[in-house]
Structure 1
Amino acid sequence: MKAVVVTDPPKASLDDADRLSACGLSTVHEACGRRGYLGPRMRPVWPGARIAGTAVTALCWPGDNWMIHVAVEQCGPGGTLVVATNSPCSDGLFGELLATSLGARGVRGVVLACGARDVAELQAMGFPAWSTAVSAQGSVKATLGSVNGPVVVEGQLVHPGDVIVADDGVVCVARADVPRAVTVSQARLEREERNRKRFQAGELGLDVYGMRGELQRLGLRYINHREWAAGEDV
């Protein structure tokens, strides 16, 4: 993409983002057909963080965080900054001072396909960040990238205005699919709550999920120890 900043990309509803946040990443990911997950390398830099917001995207060169500074101006309340690099990078392109600037603009968190630094400070601030690395390696400001264009993070395409849901990991919900995602995620959450009550009452997953018939069809047998010792399980 050319060195441009798109100043007014369309965005998903923040109310819908809040509804997805209440459902949680795992529920949203499963309900949406297991799409949009940024994978196990994308981890919270401090435990317990949980957000959902609309994506502002920045594409940087490895070791260069200039476009993050440019992107801050495009961020506002409810936003989540998503940073990609045009080749692999683990340098710490984001830390406390950038978080302070974003926090002052009402940004909910950052997702970094690179390194984060100042982890203790980020946790003390309560500023949520997810990254593929933690690194004290610093950065330069020398090469232009772009802001608010499509980026690829851990194999997933992210457009500005998509909803980013993050807790134990990160999932991206395409802007056009957000209303449907809210509906199916809330339905799944309600179903999980019904199942939770059954588990609390002592029922087994075998019965809650109706597994016994299929296990029997596939040939699973129950035998006692005498039968097992006599080789009768063969």
Structure 2
Amino acid sequence: MNDDTTLLTAYGALDSAAVSDALDGLVLPPGLGGIRPVWGHRALVGFAAPVELAPGTPDPSSSGAHIATSAVATSGPEDVLVIAGGGRTDVSCWGGLLSLGAALRGVRGVVADGACRDVGEAREAGFPVYARATTPVTARGRLRQVSSGEPVRVGPATVARGDIVVADETGVAFVPRARAHEILRAAQAVARRESAIAEELRGGASLPDAMRDARLAGTEEPH
């Protein structure tokens, strides 16, 4: 098992809240709320393949390819498309044909800082889509692609190609690849502390005794 696979497996055992706490503790941008699964699929972990969009019509000198198609065509089974759509919810930045194309390439899913459409088609393709909203309004004539594979901003985070994406029903966290092992260790420690507290609660401990901020932060060990 190579390092990439090991990393994704390890992060796949964590939730976005634990990863967000680890990022917070290391003074990095924490997780982001408001981007949620649009149909009932699994949690999502993979390497970021970023795409930046901006308002406006497509460049008439371009090949005419639709937004995000080049990113889909160059992504694979360990990747998650990250669409930096500026949080717009009045126009779709992801649709059914993109979901089908990405699913056929084995891409793990998409996280869109914007709206999506064709939810039924994504569900039929079995393709996980995370977005801020849904809308039937097309991107054609309303959005243009600025870049593919270059760093993008999503909320407070800068997301680069190969960063780790963790998305679930709670939200999304972005892990800088250069610090992935450090953040993983911190997130695993968060998960262990919370698991220990949960066990104490099930064993009859009082909530105030078991759940102390210092303990949750890792600055106090259990008695």
TM exceeding 0.5: yes
User: C-alpha distance in 2, partners of 1:73/1:159?
Assistant: 18
User: C-alpha distance in 1, partners of 2:205/2:41?
Assistant: 30
Equivalent residue pairs, number: 200
User: C-alpha distance in 1, partners of 2:6/2:208?
Assistant: 37
User: Tell me, which stretches of 5 or more residues in structure 2 are unaligned?
Assistant: 59-64, 214-223
What amino acid maps onto 2:157 in structure 1?
A: Q
Match of 1:132 in 2: 132
SS of residue in 1 equivalent to 2:75: coil
User: C-alpha distance in 2, partners of 1:37/1:124?
Assistant: 32
CA deviation map 1:116-152 (0-9, x unaligned): 1122332343321111221100122784521111111
What amino acid maps onto 2:177 in structure 1?
A: R
SS of residue in 1 equivalent to 2:136: coil
SS of residue in 2 equivalent to 1:18: helix
Task: Work out whether residues 62 and 88 of structure 1, in 8 Å CA contact, stay in contact via their aligned partners in 2.
Answer: no
User: C-alpha distance in 2, partners of 1:86/1:39?
Assistant: 13
Q: Higher strand share goes to which structure?
A: 2
* CA radius of gyration, larger in: 1
* Matching of residue 146 in structure 1 with residue 147 in structure 2: yes
With normalisation by structure 1, the TM-score equals 0.76
CA deviation map 1:99-131 (0-9, x unaligned): 111112121110112211122332343321111
Task: Work out whether residues 56 and 82 of structure 1, in 8 Å CA contact, stay in contact via their aligned partners in 2.
Answer: yes
SS of residue in 2 equivalent to 1:140: coil
Q: CA deviation at 1:81?
A: 0.3
User: C-alpha distance in 1, partners of 2:209/2:86?
Assistant: 49
What amino acid maps onto 2:200 in structure 1?
A: R
SS of residue in 2 equivalent to 1:182: helix
- 1:207 is aligned, of 184, 190, 209, to 209
Match of 2:172 in 1: 170
User: C-alpha distance in 2, partners of 1:128/1:187?
Assistant: 28
Aligned pairs for 1:30-109 (under 5 A) are 30-33=21-24, 35-37=28-30, 39-62=32-55, 66-85=66-85, 88=88, 90-109=90-109
CA RMSD of aligned residues (A): 2.4
User: C-alpha distance in 2, partners of 1:25/1:144?
Assistant: 28
Q: CA deviation at 1:54?
A: 0.3
Q: CA deviation at 1:38?
A: 5.1
**In the superposition, relative to structure 1, how do residues 60 and 138 fare at CA in structure 2: closer, same or farther (>3 Å)?**
same
**In the superposition, relative to structure 1, how do residues 101 and 205 fare at CA in structure 2: closer, same or farther (>3 Å)?**
same
- 2:182 is aligned, of 180, 183, 198, to 180
Task: Work out whether residues 85 and 93 of structure 2, in 8 Å CA contact, stay in contact via their aligned partners in 1.
Answer: no
With 14-23 and 157-166 compared, the bigger mean Cα shift is at 14-23
With 92-101 and 167-176 compared, the bigger mean Cα shift is at 92-101
**In the superposition, relative to structure 1, how do residues 120 and 143 fare at CA in structure 2: closer, same or farther (>3 Å)?**
closer
**In the superposition, relative to structure 1, how do residues 31 and 164 fare at CA in structure 2: closer, same or farther (>3 Å)?**
same
Task: Work out whether residues 62 and 91 of structure 1, in 8 Å CA contact, stay in contact via their aligned partners in 2.
Answer: no
With 180-189 and 163-172 compared, the bigger mean Cα shift is at 180-189
Task: Work out whether residues 61 and 87 of structure 1, in 8 Å CA contact, stay in contact via their aligned partners in 2.
Answer: no
SS of residue in 1 equivalent to 2:90: coil
Q: CA deviation at 1:57?
A: 0.7
User: Tell me, which stretches of 5 or more residues in structure 1 are unaligned?
Assistant: 1-11, 212-234
Match of 2:200 in 1: 198
SS of residue in 2 equivalent to 1:13: helix
